[in-house]
Amino acid sequence: MLRISIPSYLIALFFLIISYVPATGQSFLQINSTITSDIYQVESLENNDLIISGTYKGKAEFGSFSRLSKDKASYVARVNTSGQFLWVTELDVVITDLAVTSKGICVLSIYKEKNKVDRTSSLEMKLTKLNLEGKKKSVKSICKFTGDLYDLHMQGILDNNAHPMACLIWVKDKTTKIDSETLSKKKYGAICYIQYDQEGNEKWRQHTEGGFNSFTDMHLEAMSFDKDNNFYAIGGYGEEAFYGSTKLITNLVYAPNFGAIDFYYKGSYLMKLSPEGKLEKVIALSKYQCKYTSIAFGEDGIMFVAGYYKGNNKEQLRKMDGTPSQPAPEIGAKVLPGSRKNQEASFLAKLSSDWNTEWTYVLESDRGNRVSSITVGNNRLAVTGFWVMNLFDGKNSFKSVENTSPYKSEVYQQLFDLDGNHLTTIVYQGKGSEWPKHIINKSNQIVCFGNFREEMNIGKSKYTSKGTYQNAFMILPKKLDGSISK
């Protein structure tokens, strides 16, 4: 697990917001594209080189490398400690997850095909292996999921051994198959978790189901493995959900002005599966308005979760029989406050070893904000997200550069101790900055990444994209060789 001293961690954060001479190329790394470019995932090698994955369309410039694609193309690239691209490899897949092992790079992908004539679709999961020089070694089909056109979804994740897991979500079951095997269920919505090895051999599977009507479909929001390869999943359900002999129940509410059930007003579950696929534990983590984006673990296995929720508009919410309802968003027994002007609010929470909520923290904005990623290292919790218009972190207010249409999004990064005490907030100003994330590299320094439109301001330095096109970016520490960390 990650270990770092407090001063070094703060220095690493400081390096994120000050600017350097452009020749160093180490504070702001940009993928220029004539249409669009993204970075979705970053992994750190032992020598602090970075393996990144994303997409681009049009002509994209990866340092001295140039790539051209009329359609959206996926890529994997390596960036050295000087912020230079060493290689860029195109892949004709839709990348879902990325893992770096001692033997090379594993890329998990899922591709969906639709047949509108017979109203069916199929999803195929593949595992592509690259060496550390970006050369393709092999491509292996892991599984194929087929069924109804509109009710079929597959998500995937790699465990600590880079073994793929397929998470299959569906409603109708008459034609639903995994490879040639028909999947069946007794209730409305269902999720099937299947763990494979790298050759596509099934190791185990687990099955969960929703209730008996159309409000009881299942959703999957955040997934992660802890250091012992236990699998954790957070998702949503309506009214009721079944996990073996365990049944979870929540009371559905809806907003009459919208005339339908809103996903935010359903319940959320937290589930743990052992490395052998045994259902270890499941609880109703929250009711009503919460949606989760991230799970992280401390060195002692303590869990942290993050997400966002809508403001508590008590006057509009109604139960199914039409009577007023006043549900408060909650995580475990901790009730979250209603946010300003019924806008989205981000939240953090620490769960104890028995999954009771120890503390919660809420970040509010006049026009919405979302946590994108959280990481734990040496008794510190690092948080990255984005916001629009005014941001409130409990003590301080931050105003966006511009609050007229089109609204600008701003990137924020926060630091907490593990008792929930807020230590600092850093703001990056930028027009259209979306889904920023971060990792901590092998020297325990923060690398922040995401995309932006038009401009991005880091300290006194301004970076621009071509016209209004979307460009990917990375914010790197000045040195990636560990010289500022012990």
Place 278 in a pLDDT band, splitting at 50, 70 and 90: very high
Which amino acid is present at 43?
A: E
Looking at residues 184-202, what average pLDDT do you find?
92
Residue 481 lies in a domain: no
Q: Could you give the strand order of the β-sheet that contains 218-225, starting from the edge strand earlier in sequence?
A: 218-225, 231-237, 267-273, 279-286
Cβ(80)–Cβ(25) under 8 Å? no
pLDDT higher at 37 or 363: 37
- The CA distances from residue 154 to 104, 112, 139, 233, in Å, are 25, 9, 19, 14
Work out whether strand 120-130 and strand 104-115 pair parallel, antiparallel, or are unpaired. antiparallel
Place 341 in a pLDDT band, splitting at 50, 70 and 90: low
CATH number where 133 lies: 2.130.10
Residue 480 lies in a domain: no
Residue 31 lies in a domain: yes
Tokens 């403001």 locate to: 311
What's the DSSP call for residue 4? -
pLDDT higher at 332 or 284: 284
Cβ(316)–Cβ(255) under 8 Å? yes
Which residues in 11-49 belong to E strands, given as ranges?
28-33, 36-44
* For residue 37, pLDDT beyond 60: yes
Place 320 in a pLDDT band, splitting at 50, 70 and 90: low
Q: How many whole angstroms separate alpha carbon 303 and alpha carbon 297?
A: 5
Residue 357 lies in a domain: yes
Residue 484 lies in a domain: no
Residue 46 lies in a domain: yes
pLDDT higher at 442 or 72: 72
* For residue 204, pLDDT beyond 80: yes
Over residues 352-361, the pLDDT tens digits come to 999 999 999 8
Q: Which helix (H) or strand (E) holds 9?
A: helix 6-17
Looking at residues 458-477, what average pLDDT do you find?
82
CA geometry: angle 62, 85, 125, nearest 5 deg = 80
* For residue 315, pLDDT beyond 90: no
Residue 369 lies in a domain: yes
Looking at residues 415-425, what average pLDDT do you find?
89
Q: How many whole angstroms separate alpha carbon 191 and alpha carbon 328?
A: 27
Domain of residue 309 covers 6-475
* For residue 428, pLDDT beyond 80: no
Over residues 219-263, the pLDDT tens digits come to 899 999 999 999 999 998 888 888 888 998 887 665 555 545 454
Residue 486 lies in a domain: no
Over residues 85-124, the pLDDT tens digits come to 999 999 999 999 999 998 899 999 999 999 888 888 999 9
Domain total of the chain: 1
Place 50 in a pLDDT band, splitting at 50, 70 and 90: very high
* For residue 5, pLDDT beyond 60: no
The pLDDT of residue 291 is 86
Tell whether omega for the bond before 164 is within 30 degrees of 0, i.e. cis.
no
The pLDDT of residue 332 is 75
